Amino acid sequence: MTLADYKAVLTLSYEQFIAQYNVRSSQVHENRSYEKVTDVTRVDLADNQFFFFKNGILKVIYISDDAAAKKIWDEFNTTTNTDNPDNTVRSRAGKTSNQKVFAQQGISVSMSHSDIDFIEIYPPCSLPDYLQHIYQEPGPFIR
């Protein structure tokens, strides 16, 4: 999928998504959470793609597959000045990772140097909204 494909998926209802992607019941997990987004239904697709729905609305897409995440980041990087994110926050991916937040574009990326840890795609929002409703500060990293 391209970044445009993921953005289009954000407009689908849960029922539309299930039908369009032929989701089996084994791919659906109820009563889950993603960071601060709680009591959601998680739908797992191939290549470590996780779609989090709350009340039938897609709230966050989490992509941790190396190739897929890098492809999305490279695509985003060609259309956006990624040197100036809305904010850079600590990432739960590890001590050397930071998370660049582009809330107004609806995308965040966790990176360690030039390696992509994961990408989040969500409906565009303000930075305070992202920080209040999605992002969760990671705890201390212990060796």
Q: Which two tokens stand for residue 86?
A: 């809305």
Residue 142: per-residue pLDDT? 60
Least Cα distance to 85 among 109, 120, 113 occurs for 109
- Helix ranges (H only) for the chain are 3-9, 14-20, 66-79, 127-133
β-sheet bridge partners, residue 100: 88, 109
| pTM, two decimal places | 0.93
Per residue in 55-86, pLDDT tens? Answer: 999 999 999 998 999 999 999 999 888 888 88
The SS3 of residue 27 is: helix
Residue 143: per-residue pLDDT? 60
Give the pLDDT band (50/70/90) at residue 88.
confident
Answer left, alpha or beta for residue 56, where phi above 0 means left and psi between -120 and 50 means alpha. Answer: left
**C-alpha dihedral (40, 95, 66, 111), degrees to nearest 10:** 90
Least Cα distance to 62 among 6, 23, 15 occurs for 6
Average pLDDT over the chain, rounded to an integer: 93
Residue 103: per-residue pLDDT? 96
Q: What is the rounded distance in angstroms from the CA atom of residue 83 to the CA atom of residue 88?
A: 10
